[in-house]
Amino acid sequence: MTLALRYAVRSDVGLLREGNEDSAFAGPHLLAVADGMGGHAAGEVASAAAITTIAPLDDARNLGPDLVGALADAVAMANLRLQELIISDPAIEGMGTTLTALLWADGYAALCHIGDSRAYRLRNGQFLQITHDHTLVQSLVDEGKITEDDVATHPHRSLLLRALDGRTVAEPDLTQLETLPGDRYLLCSDGLSGVVTEQTLAQTLSSIRDPDKAALQLVELAIRGGGPDNITCIVADVMDTQATALPPTWTPVLAGAAQIGSPADLRQPARQSSPATRAMRLTRTAPQPAVPDDAPTGVWPGSPRDGYTGAFEAASFEEDGFGGRGGGGRGDGFGTGRFDTKGFERVSDDDDLDSYDEPSGRRRGRHHRYAEDDDDDDYGHRGRRRWPIVTGALVLLVLLLGGGAYGAWWYNQQQYYVGVQDGYVAVFQGTNQNLAGMSLSKLLTRSTLRVSQLGLSDQGTITQTISKSNLGEAESLINSLQTQSNTCHSQWNALAAWQTKSVAYNAAVATDKASKAKPKPTVPASMAPGPMPPSPDPDSCAPASAFGIAASALPSPQSTTPAPSTSPTTSSSPTGKPSSSATPTGAKKTSPTPAAG
């Protein structure tokens, strides 16, 4: 039984990204996917450097019995290559990449994984994820703090715990697998696994037998799901060449950022037309120039240079090896021969750095140099012609923003409202709002009226503020509230005065009743307090305590108006001496009893 791989690779920029930061390699012995990170900090450089550094492993002469060790050494070299690039250009220090790779030989495979790209296996109808995400949300799921359903909506779902970044020691998961005829493997970036469910992935891989059609369908499904990220996938079938008429795949293929500048026969095939891809192309607002098919001209330069343009040459992909020296094992030829990624070449300051759009994924602001004598490259000239339009649009945007800001400020200055300032009723200019921590109003005047001297309904309204169209209306409202407060104050003062007079009058009456003098003294009618004044309305007036009047100084709820005391009746005796007698109300007079004869 002779086992071999039949594979296909697809990479797409998606619908929302400007460039493709994913890279992939698929060959007879090596399958690898890398998802670059960093955006302006050159995520595509990181993924391309990682893929092209481990690519020599695809040469059978670089393989020994220890597949896991070979893959671990290659990953360490890729991380070292990132470190060299960062040292040569500190501006790209923030870059990094995930890496999921499968090194295959003689029915066995070594799996390397770091980051959140994934590898799946379909065997006998069972679909299984064979990698474990190195993300914060996955660690929370492992600890039981969140569920799988919470991952999609977690605010930190994209936070990686491990990646190749050239600054820390690479700690990939390394596993040895046994492969069987009929196994199907899927390696993909999170632009696919984060959009398409595992159930749909399994159904697609089970129903479409051709690897290329399956890979294309998976990319289309991710695009239909919104295509929020770059989408890269490799579909590979393990096949017994003696039991099937289908030929295995022997041609190595680069995809994504790693294919820029590569020979035409190493690039992934052009994307077929479909409703999803046509819809995606309609979202493009700038022309999409095709990558020129340069003829192979030799090998990568052997001397290290700063930076990266992605340019390499084709001899290293010929039959005599991927950078090896023709000596067999990987020990003396890996990474040191003609397939040395140190040939990454920095774009000099004299090169045209104007932005352009490129479907193969190079990000804006870096111009790719295909050849030293490329006089027909007019991308930079088109970029220069865009500058007046961009500048004019920016000036117009600034004017619109400035005019809008002034209009909002002017409108705000015409607004007034009555509110509270340190417990007093006050007038403010502006609106009672805050913008970025700044108040949109200022204090104009503060009255002498305390909020506590208003009725409950007025207090609530003033606390919530009352808007007025001009300063006169605001001041008129305060005057009205002040008049109402003064009226309530006067009513409370009248009640307090009546209570004082009532207490004095009742005391005088009590003193007269207790007196034993004859005739008893009388209380003058002028001391009577008269009718009790009405109490203020509790809804429109503040409590008496707000005006400094104690509750003890006011009449109790049971208090009534005291009646004037009755003066004693005075009569003259026959002798002419005055005598007085008081007849109590309701008393009966009795005749003296006649004396017995």
Transcribe 77-145 into DSSP letters. HHHHHHHHHHHH-GGGTT-EE-EEEEEEETTEEEEEEESS-EEEEEETTEEEE-S---BHHHHHHHTTS
Task: Supply φ then ψ for residue 126, to 5 degrees.
Answer: -100, 120
Q: What CATH number does the domain containing 53 carry?
A: 3.60.40.10
What the block records as the tokens of 10 is 């697809």
Residues 6+ apart with CB under 8 A from 146: 137, 140, 154
Residue 546 lies in a domain: yes
Q: Are residues 98 and 18 in the same domain?
A: yes
What pLDDT is attached to residue 572?
41
N-term to C-term CA, the chain: 166
Domain that includes residue 206, residue range: 3-264+274-377
Strands (DSSP E) along 365-515, which ranges? 416-421, 424-435, 438-450, 466-468
Coil, helix or strand at residue 204: helix
Q: Are residues 250 and 356 in the same domain?
A: yes
Residue 385 lies in a domain: no
Nearest-CA neighbor of 343 among 53, 97, 99? 53
DSSP for 299-342 reads: ---SS--SS------SGGGSTT-SS--SSSSSTTTTTTSTT-GG
The whole-angstrom distance between residue 160's C-alpha and the CA centroid of its chain comes to 17
Counting the structural domains of the chain, the total is 2
Q: Are residues 78 and 162 in the same domain?
A: yes
Q: Are residues 472 and 364 in the same domain?
A: no
Q: Are residues 217 and 353 in the same domain?
A: yes
Q: Are residues 222 and 333 in the same domain?
A: yes
Q: Are residues 358 and 455 in the same domain?
A: no
Q: Are residues 369 and 506 in the same domain?
A: no
Question: How does pLDDT run along the chain (597 residues), one tens digit per residue?
Answer: 789 999 999 999 999 988 999 999 999 999 999 999 986 568 999 999 999 999 999 988 878 889 999 999 999 999 999 999 999 998 888 899 999 999 998 889 999 999 999 999 999 999 999 999 999 999 999 999 999 888 888 998 889 999 999 999 999 999 999 999 999 999 999 999 999 999 999 999 999 999 999 999 999 999 999 999 999 999 999 999 988 889 999 999 999 999 885 555 565 655 445 555 555 555 544 444 444 444 443 333 333 333 333 434 334 444 444 334 333 333 333 333 333 444 444 444 444 433 333 333 333 333 333 333 333 444 334 444 556 788 888 898 999 988 988 888 888 888 898 989 888 999 998 888 777 777 888 888 888 888 888 988 888 888 878 888 888 888 899 998 999 899 999 988 988 888 888 888 888 888 877 776 667 667 777 778 888 888 888 778 988 888 888 888 888 776 666 655 544 444 444 434 444 444 444 444 444 444 443
User: In this structure, what DSSP letter does residue 422 have?
Assistant: T
Task: Supply φ then ψ for residue 207, to 5 degrees.
Answer: -95, -25
Give the domain-ending residue among 536, 555, 574.
555
CA atoms within 13 A on the CB side of 452: 8
CA dihedral 109, 111, 112, 113 (to 10 degrees): 160
Residue 398 lies in a domain: no
The whole-angstrom distance between residue 429's C-alpha and the CA centroid of its chain comes to 34
DSSP for 491-540 reads: HHHHHHHHHHHHHHHHHHHHHHHH---SSPP---GGG---SPPPPPPTTT
**Cα gap 591→593, rounded to integer Å:** 6
**Cα gap 119→235, rounded to integer Å:** 10
State whether the Cα torsion 302-307-310-311 is positive or negative: negative
State whether the Cα torsion 148-150-151-153 is positive or negative: positive
What pLDDT is attached to residue 272?
47
Give the domain-ending residue among 377, 403, 429.
377
**Cα gap 182→124, rounded to integer Å:** 8
Residue 474 lies in a domain: yes
Residue 576 lies in a domain: no
Asked if 23 contacts 36 with a C-beta cutoff of 8 angstroms, the reply is yes
What the block records as the tokens of 8 is 């296909």
Task: Supply φ then ψ for residue 500, to 5 degrees.
Answer: -60, -45
Q: Are residues 34 and 83 in the same domain?
A: yes
**Cα gap 212→202, rounded to integer Å:** 16
Residue 570 lies in a domain: no
Q: Are residues 333 and 426 in the same domain?
A: no
What the block records as the tokens of 58 is 């695809």
b/e sequence 441-469, b meaning 16+ C-beta within 10 Å: beeeebbebbbebbbeebbeebeeebebe
- Compute the 3-state secondary structure of the chain and give helix, strand, coil in percent, each to the nearest 5: 35, 20, 45
State whether the Cα torsion 107-204-202-258 is positive or negative: positive
Angle at 306 between CA 75 and CA 189, to 5 degrees: 40
Q: Are residues 327 and 418 in the same domain?
A: no
Asked if 71 contacts 112 with a C-beta cutoff of 8 angstroms, the reply is yes
Residue 203 lies in a domain: yes
What pLDDT is attached to residue 550?
85
Give the domain-ending residue among 324, 350, 377.
377
Angle at 90 between CA 89 and CA 92, to 5 degrees: 80
Q: Are residues 213 and 361 in the same domain?
A: yes
Peptide bond into 519 cis (omega under 30): yes
Which alpha helices (H) appear in 129-230, and where do they start and end? 136-142, 148-151, 190-193, 198-207, 211-224
The Cα-based distances of 160 to 42, 114, 137, 520, 535 in angstroms read: 17, 9, 9, 104, 73
Residues pairing with 232 in the sheet: 11
What pLDDT is attached to residue 39?
61
What pLDDT is attached to residue 502?
85
Residue 476 lies in a domain: yes
Asked if 357 contacts 284 with a C-beta cutoff of 8 angstroms, the reply is yes
**Cα gap 181→276, rounded to integer Å:** 33
**Cα gap 357→79, rounded to integer Å:** 29
